[in-house]
Amino acid sequence: MSEYTAVDTYLKKLKKGDQETKVEATIHHSDIADYLERTKRVDEDEFFVLFDTLPQRKRAKTFLELPTPFQVDLINHYDAKTLASLVKIAKSNDATDIFLSIIKTDQEKSEDVLALLSDTKKVKVLKLTHYDESEAGSLMQTELFKVKSNDTVAYAIQKLAQLKKQGIGKLQCLFVTDADNKLLKNISMDDLILENTQSTFSEIMEKFPEPHVVSVHESTQNVLNMIEKYDLGVLAVVDKKGRLIGRITHDDALESMQESATQQLYNLSKIDADEELHEEFTKTGQTRAIWLSINLVNAIIASLVIGLFEETLKAVVALAVLMPIVANMAGTASVQTMTVMVRQMGLGEITFQDTRPILIKEINMAVLNGILFGFLSAGIAQLWFGNYQISLAIGLSMWVSFVSAGLLGASVPMLLKKVHLDPAVASSVIVITLIDIIGFFSFLWFSELIIF
């Protein structure tokens, strides 16, 4: 049975008022979200009806799997009491994500939701909302499976059973702390079940390696790098005094990595990071129009440069035909370099200290490509127009443009990062404009110099 058919059967049973069985409880909320997306495109009323039939915990998880525009529709559809029930049932990090979605959609309703939460839940959610998206604290869960060093393995197993009944979710390891809540060890569940149940953790801790930890204010990029480097299922989060305050799971880190990669891709293309295929037409049009307007200004600047050589273009019409070739080739070369640079910077694989070797490599590559495509474009121009002067001009211009593309494509993202600007957002605006100007100016200037 396919996931789609299984979800369809499951939701129809719930709609009839049947109780969820143990087998049906295993149906994943991501599959339910996919089903609801398809339903909403056909019948919006049915979308809300089906969402209402879901058990409370699965409803909260499904909410987070839906695209942002669908979440907004649900927030606008439900009252504060219903939304508060989603926040109450979710784990700390999921509850915070739901609450942040409510804040972004309806500030007044979010205040009503907050007032309906218990003091304990309110403190957890507010604490997590205060962390910046770039900080490790924004990814952590505060629900922990932890024991003191003088506790026994038997006690830990009993506590695990209680936590699972309370809905703590998947657990990869046990955290062992001292009397001051400072992390001593983390022990995987596989290792835990092999230990003598009567042993205390102080008796068995030495056989386990030192735990990997991250500060709550450390960058999320460092978190992702650490999880990838050491192949961690979970990472402990500590405060300035080394006290255990949360955990970051591999799936939460992976989700953050995907969001970061999406944002970088969108930023390079000047598309709003929150835009989705389901976004309203007017909102999508507004966000894209801003960057298209900026691009129009850049195009006008490049056109003004071309205008400086108006007489030259009138005298030799072939130059107007060949100009786009120079700009297009150099622009593509610069985008290739920028994409690699921004991606590797986002992964933490390149720092400002790596600038020199990277620049040398990119310039060498640009020089070689400039020579290769300079000769190719000169040959094409010669076959096309039979004028060696024009061929020489486009060949020299192509070489200059390629070298400029390599230099700017590698250096501009690094410089922007140095002055705390987002390279993914600003790089293409600066580099493409400069490459267009350099390409047009060099081609027309060489042409004017050689031909006249």
Q: Enumerate residues 6+ apart whose C-beta is below 8 A from 444.
A: 306, 308, 309, 312, 313, 319, 323
pLDDT at 144: 92
Structure tokens at 162: 């209680």
Question: pLDDT at position 296, please?
Answer: 67
pLDDT at 397: 93
Write down the pLDDT at residue 421: 74
Q: How would you label 190-201 residue by residue, b for 16+ Cβ within 10 Å and e otherwise?
A: eebeebeeeebb
Give start and end residues of each alpha helix (H) in 212-309.
220-230, 250-268, 281-307
C-alpha 223/C-alpha 139 separation (Å) is 9
8 Å CB contact between 187 and 174: yes
The fold of 3-131 is: MgtE N-terminal fold (1.25.60)
- For residue 420, the model assigns a pLDDT of 76
What is the helix (H) or strand (E) element at residue 185, kind and residue range? strand 183-188
CATH of 281-451, one of 3.10.20.600, 3.30.1240.10, 1.10.357.20, 1.10.3720.10: 1.10.357.20
CB atoms near residue 379 (< 10 Å): 12
Residue 109's pLDDT is what? Answer: 95
Nearest alpha carbon to residue 435 among 332, 340, 317:
332
Beta bridge partners of 183: 177
* Cα–Cα distance measured from residue 248 to residue 221, given in angstroms and rounded to the nearest whole number: 13
Paired tokens of 435: 């490459």
DSSP 245: E
Going from N- to C-terminal start, the domains of the chain cover: 3-131, 146-261, 281-451
Give the helix/strand (H/E) hosting 324: helix 318-346
Separation between Cα atoms, residue 63 and residue 55, nearest integer Å: 12
DSSP 137: G
Residues 139 and 220 sit within 8 Å (Cβ to Cβ) = yes
SS3 386: coil
Distance between CA 412 and CA 433 in Å, rounded?
12
Q: Report helix, strand or coil for 67.
A: coil
Separation of alpha carbons 341 and 350, rounded Å: 8
- Mapped onto helix, strand or coil, the DSSP state of residue 143 is coil
* The token pair that represents 58 in the structure block: 């699965």
Residues in the chain: 452
* Domain 146-261 architecture: Roll (3.10)
Centre a 10 Å sphere on the Cβ of residue 322 and count the other Cβ atoms it contains. 22
Look up the pTM and report it: 0.64
Whether 53 contacts 15, CB under 8 Å: yes
pLDDT given at position 253: 75
What's the pLDDT score for residue 321?
Answer: 81
pLDDT of residue 260: 62
* Local confidence pLDDT in tens for the 452 residues of the chain: 466 788 888 888 888 888 877 767 788 899 999 999 989 888 999 999 999 999 998 999 999 999 888 999 999 999 999 999 999 999 898 999 999 999 999 999 999 999 999 999 999 999 999 888 888 898 899 999 999 999 999 999 999 999 888 878 788 899 999 999 999 999 999 999 899 999 999 999 999 999 999 999 998 888 888 888 888 889 999 999 889 999 998 887 777 666 665 555 555 555 554 544 445 555 555 655 665 566 667 667 777 877 788 777 766 778 888 888 888 888 888 888 887 787 777 666 666 666 778 788 888 988 999 999 999 999 998 998 888 999 999 999 999 999 999 899 888 888 888 887 777 666 777 888 888 889 888 988 998 888 87
Contact 237, 143 (CB under 8 A): no
